[in-house]
């Protein structure tokens, strides 16, 4: 069974379009994350949700809007896509970041979604 899954795996679209990436985890975790890895391979956190509530919101353009319908799902919607949005987007999950403790930093990552904006 896949612990953290993302769809789609690849996404090619044109500038100005709106697209969504979906993430699901079956680990029973309370906290989920979105990370962006750019062409230089730097991996940076974008958002974190704990039990459907936004906990971490890094300096990300408003065009990016995460949505968590339940604690097992965290989707990422991107409006008006730009060339600079091309990257690999990773979803991850962990035990509750609210509860703290070292296990909250044992994060389990999905396989990534490679987004290419042309």
Partner 1 sequence: DAKTTQPPSMDCAEGRAANLPCNHSTISGNEYVYWYRQIHSQGPQYIIHGLKNNETNEMASLIITEDRKSSTLILPHATLRDTAVYYCIVRANTGFQKLVFGTGTRLLVSP
CB count in 10 Å sphere of residue 23: 25
Residue 93 sits in the site that holds partner 1 (CB under 8 A): no
- Considering only 65, 72, 109, 116, the residue that binds partner 1 (CB under 8 A) is 109
Return the CA Rg of the chain: 14
Residue 111 sits in the site that holds partner 1 (CB under 8 A): yes
- Closest CB 102 distance from partner 1, rounded Å: 5
Cis peptide before 8 (omega within 30 of 0): yes
Determine the Cα–Cα distance for residues 75 and 66; give it in Å rounded to an integer.
Answer: 6
The DSSP 8-state label assigned to residue 77 in this structure reads E
- Considering only 12, 15, 16, 43, the residue that binds partner 1 (CB under 8 A) is 43
Q: Which residues would be at the binding site for partner 1 (CB under 8 A)? A: 4, 41-45, 48, 55-56, 58, 90, 92, 97-98, 100-102, 104-112
């Amino acid at each position: 069974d896949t612990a953290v899954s993302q769809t789609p795996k690849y996404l090619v679209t044109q500038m100005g379009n709106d697209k969504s990436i979906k993430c699901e985890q079956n680990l029973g975790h309370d906290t989920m994350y979105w990370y962006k890895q750019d062409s230089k391979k730097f991996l940076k956190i974008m958002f974190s949700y704990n039990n459907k509530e936004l906990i971490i919101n890094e300096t990300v353009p408003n065009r990016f809007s995460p949505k968590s319908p339940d604690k097992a799902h965290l989707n990422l919607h991107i409006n008006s896509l730009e060339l600079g949005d091309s990257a690999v987007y990773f979803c991850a999950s962990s035990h509750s970041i609210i509860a703290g403790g070292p296990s909250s930093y044992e994060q389990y990552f999905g396989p990534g979604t490679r987004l290419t904006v042309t």
